[in-house]
Amino acid sequence: MLIERVIAEDCYALRESILRPGQPKENWTFEADDDPRTIHLAMKDGEDIVAIVSLLPEVKEGCSWRLRGMAVKEQLQGQGIGQQLLVTLVAMVKDDLWCTARKDVHDFYLKNGFEVFGDEFVMNNLEHVLMRRVRS
Ligand SMILES: CC(C)(COP(=O)(O)OP(=O)(O)OC[C@H]1O[C@@H](n2cnc3c(N)ncnc32)[C@H](O)[C@@H]1OP(=O)(O)O)[C@@H](O)C(=O)NCCC(=O)NCCS
């Protein structure tokens, strides 16, 4: 398997099926998807995209980049693929990152250098927590 930079459209299928099943397109496409600064990464098994993540130039409380759309195909979860993709993405920028993490997976981000900041909130009927990864 190889990590490759891709375009937003390449991320749509997994975003929809893993993160927002049954939801309209506006729920799994992002305003900055086609911004030239945005980075979309995919883990590919041949031509098959098995995991995705995006980094968007959205500023929040001093963090310059928003991590969004992190998803691994269901049958391949728990094998280190998500972490490989996240580590590669984090290494591509120098500034601090933030994301809204689903509460039930926020340990995944804690294990990868993120910390919680701010209160928990509910989005799409799921508990979320704001997280950031600050460069030391
Ligand atoms: C969350 C997700 C991206 C993690 O990717 P993954 O490939 O399954 O995770 P990895 O195998 O790389 O795990 C890396 C570490 O994080 C931990 N981890 C992964 N998923 C976790 C979860 N749901 N809860 C707690 N810890 C988790 C692993 O145990 C592992 O820790 P270890 O190194 O101590 O064993 C993936 O499971 C996924 O797509 N889930 C469904 C969609 C989703 O929730 N996306 C995130 C929205 S904020």
Cα(104) to ligand 1 centroid in Å equals 10
> What's residue 58's pLDDT?
97
> Per residue in 85-119, pLDDT tens?
999 999 999 999 999 999 999 999 999 999 999 88
In sequence order, what are the residues at sequence separation of 6 or more whose Cβ sits closer than 8 angstroms to the Cβ of residue 27?
20, 124
Q: Could you tell me the distance, in angstroms and rounded to a whole number, from the CA of residue 128 to the centre of ligand 1?
A: 15
CATH topology of domain 2-95: Aminopeptidase (3.40.630)
Specify the pTM: 0.96
Q: In what order do the strands lie in the sheet with 126-133?
A: 2-6, 39-45, 48-56, 65-72, 97-102, 126-133, 115-123
Distance CA(92)–CA(100), nearest Å, equals: 20
Domain boundaries, the chain: 2-95
Contact status, residue 42 vs residue 10, Cβ threshold 8 Å: yes
